[in-house]
Copies of this chain bind each other. A is one copy, B any other.
Amino acid sequence: MKQYITQDPWSIVETDFHRDYNEITESLMSLGNGRLGQRGNFEEKFTGKTLQGNYVAGVYYPDKTRVGWWKNGYPEYFAKVLNAANWAGIDIDIEYESLDLATCDVRDFRRELNMREGYLERSFVAVLKSGKEVKVNAKRFCSIVDDDAGAIRYSLTPLNFDAKITVTPYIDGAIRNRDANYDETFWDEVRKETGYGEAYIELRTRKTGFHVTTGMCVEIEQDGQKMDYQSQPIKYEKYVANRMTLDCQQGQETVIYKYAVNLSSLNHDSDELMRLAHEAIARVSRKGFDRMLFEQKQAWADKWKMNDIVIDGDVAAQQGIRFNIFQLNQTYTGEDERLNIGPKGFTGEKYGGSTYWDTEAYCLPFYLATADQKVARNLLIYRYKHLQKAIENARKLGFRAGAALYPMVTMNGEECHNEWEITFEEIHRNGAIAYAIYDYVRYTGDESYLTDYGLEVLIAISRFWSQRVNWSAAKKQYVMLGVTGPNEYENNVNNNWYTNYIAAWTLRYTIEAVGKVKALNPEKYADLCERIHFREEKEVQNAQHIVDNMHYPYDPERQVFLQQSDFLDKDLMPVSDIPKGQRPLNQNWSWDRILRSCFIKQADVLQGLYFFEDEFDTDTLRRNYAFYEPMTVHESSLSPCVHSIQASKLGMKEKAYEMYLRTARLDLDDYNNDTEDGCHITSMAGTWLAVVKGFGGMRVDAEGLSFSPYCPENWQGLAFKIRYRGALLQITTTQQDVTVQNFSVQPVTLRVHGETVTIAGESKQTVTIPVLA
């Protein structure tokens, strides 16, 4: 755990330069707009610890998987979002000395990610070896208004010298992924062009053949005036630049504006990319830095108006939730149904920027409640479009007759995880994809989705479960052998309760959905049956038999569900018994020891009780929470949020707050010692859930929307907004009461702390929080 980031309600601030933490800070200060992403790297050369990172959404590479010996069914490649051309670089040379914060003294350093307005700013005074002092202020952003574009304002002021300063803004495409499996280069150069103050380069990914054209142009200002300059174009392999030498006087500010655009063949004909890049560069430079930044601030203000969560009286908590919301908004906008949310977004290389079950289990509820309905729908459509690949994936593993196994990790629907054991065993992901359909329909009421897309996916997933279970003659029940549950600190277990439960639930929900669609639209239903050879009677009967006879491991003594059949054979002990200095376990224990231990990486049985809470009473939750939470090390970023929500439900306010801080400030405080790899983007949605479903107690069930909000002890107030079926509501909680404001014109009926209230259009109502006995 590290605490060098200044607490501030709206900004992530580093004062003093923490060289050793630079890769962590780079992750935290990442910029993005859903289309482009960029780590918080320095513009000028830096020979210290750094992970250069620039990403273009959807542009990936199938990196051959590393395995000892190949076996049938292993995924052939691990898809990674590529580290792409660096468009932010500006090398600064002051009379034969490079400006490089690794090799000079640094004074008055400050770096800020301004989340309210969406930019990154850095200022410092560098004291070069020669004694020259230069003051720098650099500001940059990825535009969320023009999502091809980024802009930089880089200001230099010599403090104690006059000199010729050589400035080299460049685009560097000679980039490798640090996590490449075979140290290969993933990009080939296609063409490049340079002009006066401009440069363009088009690169193509190997194997996948994506083209990305990056362009830049440069303007120089001295004494507040644009100036002409001599520009020397430079071209190396996969590199273009313009070099200009400027006379700089002591105390005189020189400002370099660098505009950059990135266009990809995902959105344009690749033959057109170069021409379009020229046009785009002309467009952004015409608009200029200040205008672009003004639009940026306005656009972010609009986002915050819909998304912001206000916590009164706890800056650490406030900063945490805003950081999470900010990064989520930077990662995914929901406008392009081909895109999705990588666990690290565009903030690092690990997990390759691919899609995991995180999307359905954690992100979907966030977007359901904070964005237009089409955003959540696009996330569902993404999986619908991958259905044929999921069927193919299951076929490779020996399943038949339209059974679908969605991939653990994917870019285009194909399975592409790096570890076979996860690919084959962690099949509960299939359940999360079914659950997301349920979640969406429940929240939006949009039952037409079932008819048009949902049922087809549900049937395919149910076919998988029906084949994946087997009848145990010994137990006279259906069992599911050889799986890995959400707790990846167990491997290849039998009858993971969560997986068995979500499998049977999927079958139940599919049967229900069959009934609904048949009633709603018999014609479309008949078409579907024919198209996918769905033999209703037989398949439903079979599914029902499994539902009725599924095995759920259970401990009658403790009255808890068992994470897996043999869990009680383990040497059970609480996390508090682990000797000091041995956590996080994954950095201190052998994998073997972890697997054999009772320690749980993330909610597993509890994850199931979270998804299906309506099917269990509170005492059941309480018993299972009391049994499992003490053995849980939360070394998955996805764990604390679920625990926080459940602790809230169980009235364990302190625990809920502790878990909230852990999820909200996971990256800011580098809890798991891995933020340098990138931020945990998908778990940030979990943070939002911890507030809205945890402290806010929001639920949507058959009876509609409800809230049971409360404030943790040290908060004076909590306010959040949600969208619900066309309405926009703000829920404001103090220690005493809850006010629900209805911004929409239609009235909204909901329950607050169990009391049904109807709030007229454009008005609000306050409910006193009942005092619990």
Q: Chain A: residues with CB nearer than 8 A to chain B?
A: 65-69, 71-74, 78, 181-182, 396-398, 417-421, 424-425, 470-475, 479, 481-482, 491-494, 565-566, 568-572, 586-593, 595-596
Query: Which 10 pairs between the two chains have the least Cβ-Cβ distance?
Result: A68-B418, A73-B590, A424-B592, A66-B66, A474-B568, A71-B591, A492-B492, A398-B593, A472-B569, A68-B419
Given A397-B593, A591-B424, A592-B397, A481 contacting B570 (CB threshold 8 A) = yes
Most buried by B among A68, A397, A473, A568: A68
| A473 partner residues in chain B, CB cutoff 8 A | 568, 572
Query: In the complex, what residue of chain B is closest to A494 when comparing beta carbons?
Result: B566
Given A69-B418, A72-B588, A566 contacting B568 (CB threshold 8 A) = no
Given A67-B68, A68-B419, A421-B421, A475 contacting B569 (CB threshold 8 A) = yes
Our pick among B397, B425, B592 for the contact of A482 (Cβ within 8 Å) is: B592
| A592 partner residues in chain B, CB cutoff 8 A | 73, 397-398, 424-425, 482
| A588 partner residues in chain B, CB cutoff 8 A | 72
Please, could you name 19 A-B residue pairs with CB atoms under 8 Å apart, sorted by A?
Answer: A66-B66, A68-B78, A68-B418, A71-B590, A398-B590, A398-B593, A424-B591, A424-B595, A470-B570, A470-B571, A472-B570, A473-B568, A473-B572, A474-B568, A482-B491, A492-B493, A494-B569, A565-B566, A565-B569
Our pick among B65, B182, B591 for the contact of A420 (Cβ within 8 Å) is: B591
Query: In the complex, what residue of chain B is closest to A70 when comparing beta carbons?
Result: B591
| A181 partner residues in chain B, CB cutoff 8 A | 66
In Å, the complex CA distance between A258 and B589 comes to 56
| A69 partner residues in chain B, CB cutoff 8 A | 418-419
| A570 partner residues in chain B, CB cutoff 8 A | 470, 472, 481
In Å, the complex CA distance between A492 and B72 comes to 19
| A420 partner residues in chain B, CB cutoff 8 A | 591
| A587 partner residues in chain B, CB cutoff 8 A | 72
Our pick among B73, B425, B566 for the contact of A481 (Cβ within 8 Å) is: B566
Given A470-B571, A474-B569, A492-B491, A72 contacting B398 (CB threshold 8 A) = no
- Min CB gap A630→B, angstroms: 16
Our pick among B397, B590, B596 for the contact of A590 (Cβ within 8 Å) is: B397
Most buried by B among A71, A73, A472, A590: A590
- The A interface is mostly helix, strand or loop, or mixed, namely loop
In Å, the complex CA distance between A592 and B78 comes to 18
| A572 partner residues in chain B, CB cutoff 8 A | 473
In Å, the complex CA distance between A479 and B571 comes to 10
- Min CB gap A342→B, angstroms: 16
| A72 partner residues in chain B, CB cutoff 8 A | 586-591
| A491 partner residues in chain B, CB cutoff 8 A | 482, 492
In Å, the complex CA distance between A677 and B568 comes to 44
- Min CB gap A694→B, angstroms: 31
Cβ of A591 and Cβ of B73 under 8 Å apart?
yes
Given A472-B568, A481-B566, A590-B397, A595 contacting B66 (CB threshold 8 A) = no
Cβ of A569 and Cβ of B481 under 8 Å apart?
yes
| A471 partner residues in chain B, CB cutoff 8 A | 571
- Min CB gap A569→B, angstroms: 4
Given A570-B470, A572-B473, A481 contacting B67 (CB threshold 8 A) = no
In Å, the complex CA distance between A471 and B572 comes to 10
In Å, the complex CA distance between A71 and B584 comes to 13
In Å, the complex CA distance between A587 and B72 comes to 7
Given A417-B68, A565-B566, A571-B470, A595 contacting B73 (CB threshold 8 A) = no
Query: In the complex, what residue of chain B is closest to A75 when comparing beta carbons?
Result: B68
Cβ of B65 and Cβ of A65 under 8 Å apart?
no
| A470 partner residues in chain B, CB cutoff 8 A | 569-571, 596
In Å, the complex CA distance between A473 and B598 comes to 13
Cβ of B475 and Cβ of A586 under 8 Å apart?
no
- Min CB gap A599→B, angstroms: 13
In Å, the complex CA distance between A73 and B594 comes to 11
